[in-house]
Each structure stands twice: as C-alpha cells, then as structure tokens.
Structure 1
Amino acid sequence: MKHLVFGLLLLFSVGAKAIEVTHGPWICDMDSTSVTIVWVTDMPGMSWVEVAPDSTDHFYGKARQRYYDVLAGRKVLTDSVHRVRIEGLKPDTKYRYRVFTQEVAEWRYDDWVTLGKTACTDVWRGKPYTFATFPARPREITFLVLNDIHERAKFMKDLCKNIDFNKLDFVLLNGDMSHRLRSQQHMMEAYLDTCVRMFATHTPLFFNRGNHELRGQFADYLYRYFPTKNGHYYRLQHVAGVDFLFIDSGEDKPDEDIEYSGIVNYDQYREEEARWLRSLREQNKVGKYPLVAFSHIPPTLQNWHGPYHMQQTLTPELNKMNVSVMLSAHLHRYGYQDPNEVINFPNLVNSNNTYLLCHIANGKMEVDYVGLNAKDKKHFTFPLK
C-alpha cells in the first residue's frame, strides 16, 4: 500500500510539471517596422509575445499589445518551436517584450481545446527583454560577423569578450556554426544558447547558411529557428540606408559526391537563386541604396565544384548589381580578393578564429578583422557605391 501511495504521488508530481521556456528567446529578421521572435519550450502550446513601447511607465498597461504565433489563420498549438512575427511597429523605436506559451491541457475533438499552464520569461521576477527597430532613414550602422565556429561556443564567447553588443545593430552568423545538425539540443549547445546569453535577446541575429548547416539528420529543420520574411535563406535585408544581400552558397562538392548519398540538389538550387538575383535587378529592387553581400563560400575559388558553379550562376548576376563588397567565410583562414576577371567587387574572407567588426558611415564601410592575438588584427576601408 505504501508503494502504491508513493507511486500515485510521483505520478501526480510528474503530471503537474509546468511548461518551461528551454531556449531563447532570440530576435531575427528585423527591419524598421517588424521583427520575428523565436523561442523553444519543453512541450507544445499556444504562444504569443507581449510588446510595449519602452517609453511607457508600466509594462502591463494599455500600451501593451499581444502578437500570436499564427499559421494561415490558426494559432499554432502543436509545435514547441515558437515563431512570432510582429508587424506595424514604429521605426527607430525601443520596445519591451515578454514571451508566453500556454500548454494544451486537453484536446477532445475538432477545436474543443482546454489550455493549461503558461510559461513566460520572468514575468514577475525579472525585467522584460528589449529591442529597438531599425530607423527608416539612413544612419550609421555597426554590426559583427562570426563564422566557422564549428561548435566552439566557449571560444566564441572568449573571442567576443570585448564586444559591447548593445552598440551593435545586428550580429551575422555567416555559416558553419556547427559541424552538422544532429538535433535541436545539439544545435543549441553548439552555439545558439551562447548567442542568446551574449546578445540575441536584444540584438538581432541574422543567419546565413554554410555548407555544414546543410548536413545531418536535423538540417531540414534549420529554417524553423531562423525564419525570414520572404521564406528563403537567400534574401535582401534593408537596414538604415544599406541593402544587405544574403547569398545561400550551398555545398562545396558536386551533388553526386558519395558524401551526400544522392539526397542533395544544390546545382539546381543555385540556378534558382540566380534567377531570383536577376529578378531583383530587373524589378529595380536593388540600386537605390549601397549593396553589401554576404556569402559563406567565397565565389573566387577555382578548385571546388561549389564556388566554380557559383561563378557560372550567381557571380554573373552579382557583377551586374553594383556590389560594394562581399564578406565571406569557409576557408578557415584570412583571405582577400581585389576585383578581377571573376568578380568586379572586393571579397574579404573572415577566418574561423576572428570576427569582423563593421562600421558604415560617411559613404564607406570600415572593417576591423580581430582575433584573440593582437597580430591577427587588420583594418579595411571599402567605399560604398
């Protein structure tokens, strides 16, 4: 009898476990009037973000607005990765926010749903998180580029120990942040939890895939954690008077390489991306503002299939778009390429042990290339066209 009572008490305690926010939140895909906030809970539920201008006296007032995780008109109840798109914000404005997820206690049939306990981000004990939208007009921009960290989360933290993330407009992860994608927990431990602790609750995290993010059983789920407004990894992002072009460079080996077991089709994907680049130019969606490009794989390499195919598909379109500079990665070492017969724009390659701290002002972009050792430091100036 004693064991039965203990078992019932244990069952009750397990069943009474409250839903929890396990990862995040982090901010992505921001512009001057909208932002996406992402977080993860330990069970599915209905999620929302409550937002208020930072100028209000109290977070829980009439100024607070609620935005739900909605897909095609239905509030999402069956996912533990929550993505809330917030529209209609004011440019250049600071906001406070909290995230909430309410578990589904019972779902009998059709839409007869009973909601249960709610997880939130320190709703009574702590302060709300904050973010500031980008201005609609041009101004100075400062951002940080990291790449090829390959699961060295502690190294990334040490590398950035002197960075004041509150002074950055965004942080770009330019690919190969992990070796491959095995699971959600693997990705979180590899880099994303550390990014959240360092900056991503308040400074937008822009993500650009590397070739190693294309590998592993969990690779098809990556987009759920870094959603974009246009629904693609490749995209055009406007920030305060500058257009940033995200090139999704694909794999570096041929599609038929034995490593891929016949499950990839990146040649066709790059051809699709080239058509999208052409459409940007033909529809006059680029050219009004200076253009800075990001690509994990540099397009100037000659001896790998991926960059060679980029030269056949993506590079000719980029050469017609008046790119001021491209920042790339992949080589695990420093590299710089002046404009030449392959590309008509400069290409700066960041290593796996350094970051790029970029500042745009007065018609030019100043870039500090910085590592843990003073000898790693270099400085570049790129005029913006």
Structure 2
Amino acid sequence: MKKDKKELPRRQFIANMSKVGALGFIGSMLPVSANAAAIETFTARPSEGHIFLTKPYLQVPSPDSMTIRWVTNKLCYSWLEYGEGNNLDKKMHQVTDGLVNAHNRINSVTLQNLKPNTAYSYRVVSKEITSFQPYSLKYGETITSDTYSFTTPKENPEEVSWLIMNDIHDRPHSIPHLLKLNGDEAFDYVFFNGDIFDYQEDEKQIIDHMLNPCTESFASTKPFLFVRGNHETRGKYARELKNYFSTKGDKGYYAYEWGPVFTVVLDTGEDKPDNHQVYGGIVGFDDYRKEQRKWAEEVMRSKAFKKAKFRVVMMHIPHFHSDEEHGTMHCRQLFAPLFDRYKVDIVLSGHTHTYGVHPPTTDHSYPIIIGGGPKEGNRTLIKVKADMKSLNVSMLKDDGTEVGKYFINSKR
C-alpha cells in the first residue's frame, strides 16, 4: 500500500528518516524525484493509525541473552516488558552511547543477563513520537503487542536440533508449509540459508514475504538465523536488508556454538564476477569472500572449534556439485582447502534448486547437503539433530517424503 504523503510533509519526513536505518540513504541532497521514488517504497501507512507492521521476532539466542525485533509504522520510543514465567515485571530498552534508541521504526532490544534454560514472557511497547525538537519531546499513541514467551538455551546442552529452509524466492506460503512438515517434533531454531527473496525491492517485501510468515508460524516464540544468498544482494533495497536482522557481531558472516555443534556461517555473495555488467560497478564480493576466508581460518584455529563434537558450515552457494560460475569457483578456491585442513564434518547449502546428498569424495573429505526449491514438488525442509555421539540430517520434500539423509558419528 502506498503512503499518503500529505500526512507527513516531505521535509519533515526526510529529516526524520535521517535516523531510521531502513531509509537512511534518503537525504535532502537528493533531487525531489529521487526522494519521491524512495518514499513510495516506504511501508509506514500512517493513515491506518499507529500500528505494528510485524509481530516481534527472536534473533541471536544464547543461554543468557535474546534479541527481539519488530517494526512499527511510526517513529517511536520503544521498549520491552518481560519477566520469568508469566511475569512482565521488568522493562528493557536499548541504549547506544548513552542515548536510548528512539525516533525509529525498526526496533531491536537485546535482553541481557538472562538465566539459561528458563522460560520468559515478553511483550513489546511502542510510543509514537509526534514532535522531536532539541528541548521538547512530544508523544502520541502507545501500542502494545500480545504477550509471547521463549525459553533460553541451556548453558551446556548435550543436544541441539534445527530446521533449514533455502531458496524460497518470494513464495511466502512456502515458509509455513515447509515448517509443518516437522510436525510436533521439538526444534531449537530455524536457519534460512539464502535466497529467501528474488531481489530486494522495498520494506514491504521483507515484511510480507519473510517476517510476517515467520512470526505467524514460529518466530515470536522460536528464534531464526539468516544468511544471504546471491539473490539477496540484488535490487535497490539490498543495502537496507541487514537492518531487519541481527547476527552475532552484526556481520553477514558469523559463527556460533550450540551444544555439541560449532557452526561457521559464510556469506558466499554473488555468483557472477564483480565486473559483470549487471552490477554496474557497485559490488565487491571477491574481497568480501577473501575477508571471510581470513576470518574463517582464525575461527577454525580456535580451541572451541577444535574441541567441538561436530564442525558444521552453512553457506548458500555450494562450492562443489553446483556450477562453474565465478562465485562458485572462488568459494572453492578459498574455502575448500580450509574445510579439508580443519576437518569440517559437513557443509549445508542451497542455490542449485536441485536437492541432493553428496558423500565425501576425492574433491571434498566431508559430505555436502544441498536443499531444493523453490517450485512446488522441489521444495525441501532439512532437519538436523545432534548429540554428543552423532549428527543426523534428514531432508524432506514438500510432500513429506524423505529424499535424503546422512549420519555422522563424532570423531572427537
């Protein structure tokens, strides 16, 4: 839905947006036509009153912390009310360099000093800011979400399970459909392994095609993690995508431990060369992948990685059993030697739209599991379970039939 620009004068809107991550690129130096085009992509819809554009969704889980995100349609001061069990007796807002985060729409609050393996209730609250002058702050309507709950991970769990979706390609109905294939089985989190979108057009696309399907299915009570695929690097809104997700260290690539599994997440970037004409000279993925290679080797040299029962890599583009595009071959050149040298146990990927289980070969000493998608009959849900002795992978096609599996015994 298009925003009624009469409800917020253009000059005031541009000034306000200087502090909003989602539209931080809009500036008063742009020509009027460019500003108008950018405003057309804004999802705010102030004519509908003050509303939440998303339910809260959980990010970056750990035994003692949890990040909660949500999006409002008006500039606000926002906070969390939370507590153990059914209580909502505590309040938390985010503070950066002494300033409480406010006058924004894309909200993120990280709860710290939580207890491991403990159930918490929470709700989000957003108070509209109607006037933000240097020495005068005026508030409008306050909105409050429903109450939700989550449970923090154990301190040193002996098992972990997660679900993987990839290559949804702007088919939001696929998210709840694939999740239902898991039935009533418990899981700790969901991982989106790239190409959830075809390209990044605007905020509405992110909300309607991913965030809302996730919160309607699970994401207000179970966390999800995300890494870009090559399609998330495309489109005029691609540079704003990171504002809607949290990762460890706020990087596109990251690593985390959960029980017996140490996971390295790589952002494999685009599949074509940086100088390809379709990119117009405004990408630099070769250097970005080299940066990740250096970082990944440091991580793999760590004691935590070496002692982990299982060493897992999540990356959208598989460096084998894919194609011979530049991105694939560059990933092979940079990462394949690392994976062999530091004895990675398994690589989980997507990208090819052809699901498959590829056991170790002379090219790679570890299995590579590739999820399918995006069309009906080819979509997959990958289920991973690990304990101190074994790691099991099961891949289900969208009709519920198992189309792949792999079993690994711990070597450490």
- TM-score in terms of structure 2 length: 0.82
CA distance in 2, matches of 1:258, 1:191: 29
Residue of 327, 334, 337 corresponding to 2:358: 337
Give 2:319's match in structure 1, choosing from 293, 299, 309.
299
Secondary structure of residue in 1 paired with 2:180: coil
1:139 partnered with 2:163: no
Cα deviation, residue 338, structure 1:
2.5
Separation in 1, partners of 2:139, 2:108: 19
Contact 1:299 1:308 in 2 (8 A): yes
Letter of the 1:218 counterpart: Y
Secondary structure of the residue that 2:182 maps to in structure 1?
Answer: coil
Helix, strand or coil at the partner of 2:236: coil
Q: 1:287 aligns with which of 301, 306, 330?
A: 306
Q: 1:27 to 1:164 in 2, by over 3 A?
A: farther
RMSD of equivalent CA atoms: 2.1
Supply the distance in 1 between the matched residues of 2:231 and 2:124 (Cα, whole angstroms).
31
Query: CA 1:229–1:360 in structure 2 vs 1: closer, same or farther (change >3 Å)?
Result: same
* Structure 2 residue identity aligned to 1:365: L
Contact 2:82 2:121 in 1 (8 A): yes
Counterpart for residue 373 of structure 1: 399
2:74 is paired with a residue whose SS is coil
Task: Name the CA distance, whole Å, in 1 between partners of 2:256 and 2:82.
Answer: 23
Q: 1:338 to 1:16 in 2, by over 3 A?
A: closer
The counterpart of 2:386, out of the listed 354, 360, 363, is 360
Amino acid at match of 1:34: S
Alignment partners' CA distance in 2, 1:34 and 1:173:
21
Residues 18, 118 of structure 1: 8 Å contact kept = no
Q: Does 1:275 align with 2:275?
A: no
Tell whether 2:228 aligns with 1:209: yes
1:38 aligns with 2:43: no
Matched, 1:151 2:151: no
Q: Contact (CA 8 Å) 1:287, 1:322: kept in 2 or not? A: no
SS of residue in 2 equivalent to 1:153: coil
Give the number of equivalent residue pairs.
Answer: 360
- Equivalences for 1:69-148 in 2 at 5 Å? 69-109=94-134, 111-122=135-146, 128-148=147-167
Q: Quick one: structure 1 residues 15 and 279, their matched pair in 2 at CA, closer, same or farther if it must change by over 3 Å?
A: closer
Check conservation: 1:273, 1:314, Cα contact below 8 A: no
Q: Which runs of 5+ in 2 are unaligned?
A: 1-44, 374-378
Render the CA deviation track for 1:258-312: whole Å, top value 9, x for unaligned.
1111110000000001111122234434212122110100011451111111122
The DSSP-based 3-state class of the residue aligned with 2:103 is coil
Q: Is the 8 A contact 1:311 1:342 kept in 2?
A: no
Quote the residue 1:5 is aligned against: none
Distance 1:195 1:16, change over 3 A: closer
**Alignment correspondent of 1:53:** 84
Q: Do the aligned residues in 2 keep the contact of 1:251 with 1:266 (CA within 8 Å)?
A: yes
1: distance between equivalents of 2:67 and 2:341?
32
Deviations 1:101-123 (A, max 9, x none): 111122222x532233212103x
Letter in 2 for 1:184: E
Deviation string 1:43-85 (CA, Å, 9 cap, x unpaired) is 111111112011x5xx24xxx2212133332112222000111
Q: Are 2:328 and 1:328 equivalent residues in the alignment?
A: no
Secondary structure of 2:54's counterpart equals strand
Question: Deviation string for 1:92-141 (max 9, x for gaps)?
Answer: 111111111111122222x532233212103xxxxx20111111113222
C-alpha spacing 1:282/1:368, structure 2 compared with 1 (3 Å) = closer
Shift, 1:341, TM fit = 4.0
Q: Which residue of 1 aligns with 2:277?
A: 258
For 1:176, what is the secondary structure of its paired residue? coil
Q: Is the 8 A contact 1:255 1:262 kept in 2?
A: yes
How far residue 339 of structure 1 moved from its aligned partner, in angstroms, is: 2.6
Unaligned runs of 5+ in 1: 1-13, 123-127
Identity %: 28
Q: Spell out the pairing of 1:307-318 with structure 2 (5 A cutoff).
A: 307-318=328-339
Within-5 A mapping of 1:197-236: 197-236=216-255
The aligned amino acid for 2:139 is L
Q: Deviation at 1:16? A: 9.9
CA offsets per residue over residues 116-173 of structure 1, 9 Å max, x none?
A: 3212103xxxxx2011111111322221100001111123322333434772100011
TM-score normalized by the length of structure 1: 0.88
For 1:303 and 1:241, the matched residues in 2 are separated by: 34
